């Protein structure tokens, strides 16, 4: 299998293109420090709270879901936090930084593929992040559009249906490109999609802000960064 076999790259954004763990930690640190928790334990607690909240309220807008998760963590950690603190966390997505290699890699890949987003955030939050990525995506599908959160199979059913309707793209043309095994690779494998793992946590213990997967699925491509993926494509082309 070659990268050049595909016409369309579908992306998870947060964790793959946007450094959501750095962004999350910057926003969560004030609460975590009150609970005397470091970065990794706090991100692990967030991953569980976020996962549970997404299952319980699948139609809740992501910024509101983050607000609710922050309040949930404050209760779990027995911290007396104000509503404004919860709301600030919910509004933090536009402040999350892009990975240093994302914009350049996307600029290169845009010359060779249609680029599509399948994200768990809301439309306004993604629009702010998109400014950091510097590329016009051919389509953007969010949890707000779909009414559920990945890893629900509904999100990948929606993706495939709308790729065909909006862009004339069929499943065999698609390479789903993502960091999260839990949110993306497990359901994408069940949907029959080819997959590229952008392993941003390569060499680090734990699963960070993403729920740990008991049985990681096999992937078709494994890269440690978007820059590495773009370079692999260049090598295929002999440039």
| Mean of all residue pLDDT scores within the chain | 96
Residue-level pLDDT at 223:
98
The CB-side HSE value for 67 (13 A sphere, CA atoms) comes to 13
DSSP state of 179: S
Residue 104 CB partners (closer than 8 Å, separation 6+): 227, 230
Q: Is 12 a catalytic residue?
A: yes
Q: Which of 12, 19, 138, 184 is catalytic?
A: 12
pTM: predicted TM-score of the whole model, two decimal places: 0.95
Which CATH superfamily includes the segment(s) 3-19+98-237? HAD superfamily/HAD-like (3.40.50.1000)
100-151 pLDDT, tens digit each = 999 999 999 999 999 999 999 999 999 999 999 999 999 999 999 999 999 9
Tell me the domain boundaries of the chain. Answer: 3-19+98-237, 20-95
In this predicted structure, the answer to whether residue 204 has a pLDDT above a threshold of 90 is: no
Please compute Rg for the chain using Cα positions. 17
Give the alpha-carbon dihedral of 94, 145, 154, 102, to 10 degrees: -30
Architecture of the structural domain at 20-95:
Orthogonal Bundle (1.10)
Residue-level pLDDT at 209:
87
Residue-level pLDDT at 203:
81
Residue-level pLDDT at 207:
83
> CA-to-CA distance for 36 and 63, rounded, in angstroms?
25
Q: Per the structure block, which two tokens stand in for 144?
A: 């707000």
């Amino acid at each position: 299998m070659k990268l050049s076999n595909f016409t369309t790259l579908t992306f998870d954004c947060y964790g793959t293109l946007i450094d959501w763990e750095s962004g999350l930690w910057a926003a969560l640190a004030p609460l975590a420090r009150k609970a005397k928790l470091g970065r990794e334990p706090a991100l692990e607690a967030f991953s569980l709270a976020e996962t549970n909240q997404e299952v319980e309220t699948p139609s809740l807008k992501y910024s509101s879901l983050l607000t609710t998760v922050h309040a949930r963590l404050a209760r779990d950690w027995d911290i007396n936090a104000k509503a404004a603190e919860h709301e600030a966390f919910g509004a933090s997505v536009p402040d999350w930084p892009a990975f240093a290699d994302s914009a350049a890699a996307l600029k290169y890949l845009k010359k060779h593929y249609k680029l599509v987003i399948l994200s768990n955030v809301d439309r306004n939050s993604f629009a702010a992040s998109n400014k950091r990525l510097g590329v016009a995506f051919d389509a953007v599908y969010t949890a707000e559009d779909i009414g559920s959160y990945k890893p629900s199979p509904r999100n990948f059913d929606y993706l495939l249906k709308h790729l065909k309707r909006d862009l004339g793209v069929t499943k065999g043309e698609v390479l789903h490109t993502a960091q999260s095994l839990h949110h993306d690779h497990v359901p994408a494998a069940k949907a029959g999609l080819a997959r590229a793992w952008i392993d941003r946590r390569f060499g680090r213990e734990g699963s960070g802000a993403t729920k740990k997967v008991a049985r990681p699925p096999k992937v078709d491509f494994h890269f440690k960064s978007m820059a590495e993926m773009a370079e692999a494509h260049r090598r295929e082309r002999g440039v």
